[in-house]
A and B are shown apart, each in its own frame.
Chain A
């Protein structure tokens, strides 16, 4: 169970380990996109963790990275084609970032650090936890950006009519700024705990 929960907060891949920065900045302009990206990555992470862990005794250690990349790329292609077939508008707005899950450092890092050393079931749990942690982090960033930048959450208006949306938060600069401020807030909370 610990393998599942550690990815959620204590070792959150984005907010604590600072992995997978590109999708977490690029796809967080709206909460819907963030959920789509997070769940796609989670599916790939669970499947690739399971397969890599099942094959961990057959893959020679010299070519392991290449083998991992081929396994991950296979699942990414499957997810990409499924999204194109059943959720075309989401696949259109995530664009090139779906195939780019291949080079998402979170997935390769979990394959190398966890799936190659643990049983299939443990690896699936680890993948699910890390994937969910990734999704949570994306949703937090997207919440900040969408409310400030467009005045909506998941497409629903949440601010009063007098609020003028700050377009900057939807633009790239807002992505860097929001993540920077969220990390600062986490530091502040952690620092507060230390002093007590």
Chain B
């Protein structure tokens, strides 16, 4: 029992810090650059991604282990997984709209964007491809920690960008160049954690 807890904790920490999805694996860069202008929206996006990733991690693991793998349909994984994610996002959107309108109005606009967030598909494919996460608990923890890492990264970036708004920046660096350079600096700090 103790061993399981320790291995889950190490998966959680590595996803959050040393193997951060944005800063060391380069997944989910599009929403990271697109929705990180304000801390509140960045946090909303992070929450929505965490919700969908944990759910999709569970569903894809079960589908792969009990349907695709026994019938040797492993090569169908990309098509099946993206279909699961797209329908899950649609389903979550409808469910939230009906049962939790408050949460829906907070997360609503971010949900459709999640289908094309490569962190979601990337995480579920990594679980299947690397064979490092054998049990359901490990796979779900991996997805959850990747999503937490994404949230941490996007909220940190939004904090930096809010300050950049008022900073005096040379004309040619305004907009995306300065954002990418700040991301490089944050990424260096995260790189320090993995040594």
Residues in A lying within 8 Å of B, measured CB to CB: 18-22, 25-26, 65-66, 69-70, 73-74, 76-77, 80-81, 95-96, 99-100, 102-105, 108, 168, 171-177, 179-181, 183-184, 187-188, 191
* 4 A-B pairs closest in CB distance: A180-B180, A26-B26, A176-B184, A177-B184
> What count of chain B residues pass the 8 Å CB interface test?
45
Q: For chain B, what secondary structure do more than half of its interface residues adopt (helix, strand, loop), or is it mixed?
A: helix
Whether B79 pairs with A77 at a CB distance below 8 angstroms is: yes
B190 shortest CB reach to chain A, Å:
8
Q: For chain A, what secondary structure do more than half of its interface residues adopt (helix, strand, loop), or is it mixed?
A: helix
In the complex, A95 Cα to B180 Cα: how many Å? 24
B19 shortest CB reach to chain A, Å:
11
**29 chain-A/chain-B pairs, Cβ below 8 angstroms:** A18-B176, A21-B29, A22-B26, A22-B29, A22-B30, A22-B118, A26-B26, A26-B27, A65-B86, A66-B83, A66-B87, A69-B115, A70-B83, A73-B82, A77-B79, A81-B75, A96-B126, A96-B129, A100-B27, A100-B121, A103-B120, A103-B121, A168-B188, A173-B184, A176-B180, A180-B176, A184-B177, A187-B173, A187-B175
In the complex, A187 Cα to B77 Cα: how many Å? 41
Most buried by B among A18, A80, A103: A103
Contact flags B141-155 to A (C-beta < 8 A → 1, else 0)? 000000000000000
Given known contacts A95-B129, A103-B115, what 20 new A-B pairs fall within 8 Å (CB)? A18-B176, A19-B30, A21-B29, A21-B30, A25-B29, A73-B83, A80-B78, A81-B75, A100-B118, A103-B118, A103-B121, A105-B30, A176-B180, A177-B180, A180-B178, A180-B179, A180-B181, A181-B181, A184-B172, A187-B174
Near A by CB (< 8 A), chain B positions 87-136 give 87, 115-118, 120-122, 125-126, 129
Q: Is B24 an interface residue when CB atoms closer than 8 A count as contact?
A: yes
Q: Is B35 an interface residue when CB atoms closer than 8 A count as contact?
A: no
Set of chain A residues within 8 Å of B27, measured between Cβ atoms: 22, 26, 100
- Say which residue of A66, A177, A191 sits within 8 Å of B181 (CB atoms): A177
- Say which residue of A26, A81, A180 sits within 8 Å of B177 (CB atoms): A180
Near A by CB (< 8 A), chain B positions 136-194 give 171-181, 183-185, 187-188, 191
Most buried by A among B23, B122, B184: B184
In the complex, A18 Cα to B29 Cα: how many Å? 11
Q: Known contacts A18-B33, A22-B27, A168-B188: does B180 contact A69 (CB below 8 Å)?
A: no
Residues in B lying within 8 Å of A, measured CB to CB: 23-30, 33, 75-79, 82-83, 86-87, 115-118, 120-122, 125-126, 129, 171-181, 183-185, 187-188, 191
